[in-house]
Chains A and B, each alone.
Chain A
């Protein structure tokens, strides 16, 4: 299972997960091993010291020894590199490393990391910790060379992880600088073990053992002490000294000269070592220094020789700062400090060779179908034309796997005069910038690319040389340019609030992009839909969303398609097509849970279904759908879900008579609301105003209307319709208090205007609500027969779609009107159903719908076993269920108890006396 999920992620470098192998011959360091063993009782072990202090060697030797002495302890290893400053890449590799211990860890999270927008980091990490909590046995996570990440989000993620670590996981970091996590707090709580430079330095005994036994030098005591003095026990220095001494005629003389010299130890000794090597070895070392990892074949390609295998074997035998990256002795890297010095030598001595060596490496990687490395070396070799061509070829694959940040990094490294001649690449650059939220220079790139198209279209008007510089690498990519330019312009229109531009450019895409280009055509349809929706053109928006969904699904962009399901259902509800909206959400739910996994957006479908359950007065189902989302966890929701969930729950609370609870939820909803590009047609502040009406706080509601600048004389628009209907409701409530005929008649006029606008816009959902208010307004004036006419129309429109709450929520006055309607024989079956529902609602709010989240019998069983020392698989065996089922139970228990991990869940359960 893990190999499958790893395969689908082409960017996972398995060499990063490999524990450096034990050397045959090492200095045993019992005093440090003891410290590391003790550290297992704490959360974090920090091995922090400058380069060359043997941090990685110490930890890898110790990890191997632990695994030998206790087979139940396993280790996940992650060697970090500069590219891990990208949070997504870091998390992918972190999960891959943890999966070497238990393949189940984070399996459900990997698809989320491929989405364009990362869910909140804390939710991701909480889910990861839950997965870790149910893994059996103790294990450790080693983060090697942590200083290379150098990014705030990574530090924050790590701090969170360490703070919430389950007791059976221990984290060890090696780093050249202290990480930016709350170390002082960990120290104060005795949760931190530190091994620092002073601990790592070789003592006299260790130095002697290293030089004489490991390196086999047999030096006399005074030579040992001179070397130790000069290197101050610095391990890299001692190792280099040993390499220099091997086969040296005049040991005494060498040591005397070294001890009396002020040069930086590494400079002095590497120069010595290199000087003593035969020319081919020296040349090999210098030339391969441009590679951050290498195998024999790559070395041969770079050096132009054929002795790669022999050279690598000799280097490994000779302790030449070479680190194997896999257990087949296939890939290696140099110790980073050594590589740094070698490349300084290379640059100083053969500066003109550096670019050539990188270009050879790039060619090798290209032949071996590793485009990212090929591009990196082409850029480092400053062969920008070649880099640009490689990038252009890699674009379709990077687009499919959503690796926009890698793409952006490459494109930023290319000079503009190269991009200018490559319109496909230039347009891709513009798009990648837009996705990462940058607007600067985007339009310039689009028009630059477009000029080529114009010149090509009218080539007879231009001299031939004007077109000569044009570079087209991939015909298909080049054919996408016109459609892509239009698509990005449509997106810019939306970003700048210029919907007409969006309409204009998105409308052109079908003629510019091929029928088979689902990404362009689908994105175009989505943009078009948003523009129509914002303009209140619901039917056009609905059709465009349908096309968008079909195309996005076809290319596997499921989470985006789910986002469009919400928009589509919102539009269908506004159109009064409640049953269609239900189909939309049910279909979306199937899509989101197909194949057993739960995709981001699944929760949103449940919240949508809850809203529809509410309308047909099934409060129990409405509540259950909302509770179900909590079991799925935060990660199953799109960004708006936190807000929509609260708004939906507030309506249920309101219906149950808990107005204060409803108001609290709306306050929360306001806080978690995040703006997206959909029109915000039911703003929370208007929902709050409606609650104030129910609470009788008319002054607050009127204050809101004033604040929003609402008046019955306003010009009407779809975007403000909900607020205007809310204003009508406030005025009706007012006229119940003070019988002012003018107030009512003005409101009736206002409602008539609203009705015409809603009918013209095809918004049957709004039409029904407006007619209901219209009826209530006539009723207030005492004119029942006038009231019955709009009510009759409302009932006719509402019956086929099974509306209930739109009527029932209006309370006793509506009941009286419905009874009148029933006497008149209007839709008798439907009206009686409404009256039954209303009767139920009037009898008083039902008891709170099990919101205390009772645990089921089965869940209590699981909980009791969680409180034991049994591991996840052992519990599953005990209960005779699969590990997956157990995971579901555990998740539900955690959700109901509001716990993040096993420990907290047990504590809560004890507090609640559940065990």
Chain B
């Protein structure tokens, strides 16, 4: 939310995204989601995070998530200068 002043142009540029899913995804899917890091959080959610080249690439990831049938909780763009917890 704190990057609301960014222009749409910024969103077309490569950036880090976080895709949050309900349930823990096995490391086995690392190949399917190559390029993203799979983080299993204590609350039972999975965070897929990493650089996304553009919007088309983002939708590609989301399609893969759809095909798993795992509930999608959120998709968020995180600034390149922000470090993950």
Contact = CB atoms under 8 A, between A and B. Distances in A.
Contacts of A19: none
B66 interface: yes
A462 interface: no
B31 A347 contact: yes
Given A344-B29, A344-B31, A348-B30, A262 B68 contact: no
A147 B30 CA distance: 24
Interface string A194-223: 000000000000000000000000000000
B32 interface: yes
A236 interface: yes
Contact of A264 (B23, B30, B32, B66): B23
Contacts of A264: 21, 23-26, 46, 68, 70
Interface string B15-53: 000000101111111111000000010001010000000
Contact of B44 (A51, A236, A262): A262
A56 to B, nearest CB: 14
Interface in A309-359: 336-337, 340, 344-345, 347-348, 351
B66 A176 contact: yes
A177 interface: yes
A337 B24 contact: no
A337 B69 contact: yes
Most buried by A among B26, B68, B69: B69
A348 B27 contact: yes
Contacts of A344: 26, 28-29, 31-32
B28 to A, nearest CB: 4
- Secondary structure of the B contact surface, majority rule: mixed
Contacts of B69: 50-53, 234, 236, 266, 337
B67 interface: yes
A449 interface: no
B67 A176 contact: yes
Interface string A249-269: 000000000000111111100
A61 B40 CA distance: 39
Interface in A253-299: 261-267, 271
A177 B66 CA distance: 8
B81 to A, nearest CB: 31
Contacts of B30: 348
A176 B40 CA distance: 25
Contact of A340 (B21, B23, B25, B67): B67
B36 to A, nearest CB: 14
B68 A51 contact: yes
Contacts of A50: 66, 69
A265 B67 contact: no
Interface string B59-79: 000000011111000000000
Most buried by A among B24, B32, B68: B68
A266 B46 CA distance: 14
A340 B25 CA distance: 13
A266 B65 CA distance: 13
B78 to A, nearest CB: 23
Nearest to A354: B31
Contacts of A348: 27-28, 30-31
Contacts of A263: 23-26
A267 B25 contact: yes
Nearest to B66: A176
Given A344-B29, A344-B32, A348-B30, A262 B67 contact: no
B41 to A, nearest CB: 9
Contacts of B46: 264
Nearest to A52: B69
A265 B46 CA distance: 13
B18 to A, nearest CB: 18
Contacts of B21: 264
A263 B67 CA distance: 17
A267 B28 contact: yes
27 contacts: A50-B66, A50-B69, A51-B66, A51-B67, A51-B69, A176-B66, A176-B67, A177-B66, A234-B69, A262-B44, A263-B26, A264-B21, A264-B26, A264-B46, A267-B24, A267-B25, A267-B29, A337-B67, A337-B69, A344-B26, A344-B32, A345-B28, A347-B28, A347-B31, A347-B32, A348-B28, A348-B31
Interface of A: 50-53, 147, 176-177, 234, 236, 261-267, 271, 336-337, 340, 344-345, 347-348, 351
Closest 4 CB pairs of A and B: A51-B69, A262-B44, A348-B28, A264-B23
